[in-house]
Structure 1
Amino acid sequence: MKKPQVPLARGILYGLYQRRLRRGLTRDNVPRHVAMIIDGNRRWARQLGLDSVSHGHRAGAAKMREFLEWCDDLGISTVTLYLLSADNLTNRASEELSDLFEIIAELAEDLSHYRDWRVQQVGAKACLPDPLVASLEAAEARTSAQRGLHVNLAVGYGGRTEITDAMRSIVAMHLHDGGTLEDLAATLTPELIGQHLYTTGQPDPDLVIRTSGEQRLSDFMLWQSAHSEFYFVEALGPDLRQVDFLRALRDFAKRQRRYGG
């Protein structure tokens, strides 16, 4: 008779613990911009013995909607979700990619109708299929005037490619205006490069989180994360709990951020 009470008791304890963690967070000590590397979806599906890793990707997408709610409720203003890297486009099976394209398109559509969030794709569109590009652009257009949580969907994204694209944009604009290479060398600054990144006008991420226990950036926001804090969660993407996220924020709030030291 007591066995059914164990999960209930555990749930009550987690609820109390979550409230305790939340009480220690204020708008002054939470990050403005959180970047999330959602990892472990495929391992999650395989561990459960599911017939396709797409089940893991769908579970991961559902978790990201939940994760965005947590961020919004805490007053975080910008979140970047790393959903599909440029490398994934060449190292994943075509069937898995087709499923991912559909899942990401559905997520973008869903988020564009939720709360007052603004949805933006960051990444290169050239290698993405037309239906996915159309879905991402529709979500952007639908939410462009909204002033709630700014949600960046990093799709077809690569940090090195972003920096390369920024430099090409700067050179092209400079030559169009009649400038010389000598002039360009004199005016090239980190601030100028930042103005030509996919995330121009946005704050750099204060906190980068990665699930699944992996501790690497995987070509994600290489420029923007120069001074970011990092936090690695053991849980696979779909298993991420709010208490895991709150622990990350508690850890962030305790850190003494240093720039260059």
Structure 2
Amino acid sequence: MAKQDYKELLNELDRNKLPVHIGFIMDGNGRWAKKRNRPHLYGHRAGVKALRQVVELGVELKLQYLTFYAFSTENWSRPESEVKGLLRLLKDQLKKEIPELMEQNIYAQFIGTTVGLEENYWKEVSSLVAQTHNNTGMVVNFAFNYGGRLEIIEGFKKFMTMHPEEWHKLTPEEFGNYLWTAGQPDPDLIIRTSGEKRLSNFLLWQSAYAELYITDTLWPDFDKVELIKALLDYTSRERRFGGRNE
């Protein structure tokens, strides 16, 4: 059966109810590759194409913030060949995409830690995304060498370094200013592919009241149609943030 044209689904979407910030847990690259008797990196390369489709639709819908879980602090435990391949893929793909990011006025940045990364590698990739930092359009965060628990610890350390005598004044609202996502709204929607039902250390603080959307679709197969399906599901929900709508 032919895949549904995403433009047909767009007509069903209430654009006044779209999320401001969407997080993506891009899961299933390895399983996608295994089904095709190919190495994991083959799946990761295919996953880049899915990410590109999501960003393209984000621009079309005028979404404001997208955050992609690109590489976690736990991913270092994977086979060395896969880790090196992932890091190389990220850098090479970023080089290719910079002209498009500039043309679409996209502001790109990394959120995460530099611990474990080679200094020259970090300088190269950070200088690449820095080219976009005068752009004023959609913000695309790459959660790279990222861990939610580490982010919270580092945020508290930063607060205590800056305000060592004021720990008792710290509020949840103010604490967000010391996280790697400082200045950005919390995600309204977290999308996880491949059917797994967990956050996997992704935006733990920020996702306190995010809506969760789980799909069995593996990330390399996640396209514009799949994203619109997720958005249609989101716009049909009633968000209460712990309260009650009478």
Matches within 5 A, 1:69-88: 69-88=56-75
| Correspondence 1:255 to 2:237 | yes
Deviation by residue 1:141-169 (Cα, 9 ceiling, x = unmatched) = 10111011111001100000000000000
Contact between 2:53 and 2:223, CA under 8 Å: does it hold in 1? Answer: no
Question: 1:131, CA displacement in angstroms?
Answer: 4.1
SS at match of 2:163: helix
Are residues 1:121 and 2:106 paired?
no
Offset from partner CA, 1:15-74 (integer Å, 9 cap, x none): 2xx334211224311111111010110111111011x21111111112111111111111
Q: Give SS of 1:80's match.
A: strand
| CA distance, structure 2, for counterparts of residue 260 and residue 107 of structure 1 | 41
Corresponding residue for residue 3 of structure 1? none
Instruction: Provide runs of 4+ in structure 1 moved above 6 Å.
Output: none
Aligned residue for 2:20? 32
Q: State the one-letter code of the partner of 1:24.
A: E
Alignment of 1:109-258 (within 5 A): 109-114=95-100, 115-175=104-164, 180=165, 183-185=166-168, 187-258=169-240
For structure 1, list consecutive stretches of 5 or more residues without a partner in the other structure.
Answer: 1-6
Change (3 A) 1:253 1:123: same
1:120–1:139 Cα contact (<8 Å) kept: no
Superposed CA offset, 1:104-136 (max 9, x none):
112333333212111100001112233431233
User: Structure 1 length as normaliser, TM-score?
Assistant: 0.88
SS in 2 for 1:220: coil
TM-score when normalising by structure 2: 0.93
Aligned twin of 1:43: 31
Greater CA deviation, 143-152 or 21-30? 21-30
Unaligned runs of 5+ in 2: none
- Please identify, of 146-155 and 135-144, the stretch whose mean Cα deviation from structure 2 is larger: 135-144
Is 2:74 aligned against 1:92?
no
Deviates more, 1:58-67 or 1:24-33: 24-33
Tell me, yes or no, if the aligned pair for 1:119 and 1:139 is still in contact at 8 Å. Answer: no
- Whichever residue aligns with residue 29 of structure 2, its letter is N
Q: Distance in 2 between matches of 1:144 and 1:259?
A: 33
Percent of matched pairs sharing the same residue: 36
Larger relative contact order, structure 1 or 2 (CA cutoff 8 Å, min sep 6) = 2
User: Match of 1:82, SS?
Assistant: strand
Q: Is 2:107–2:133's contact at 8 Å kept on the other side of the alignment?
A: yes
Tell me the distance in 1 between the aligned counterparts of 2:228 and 2:188: 15
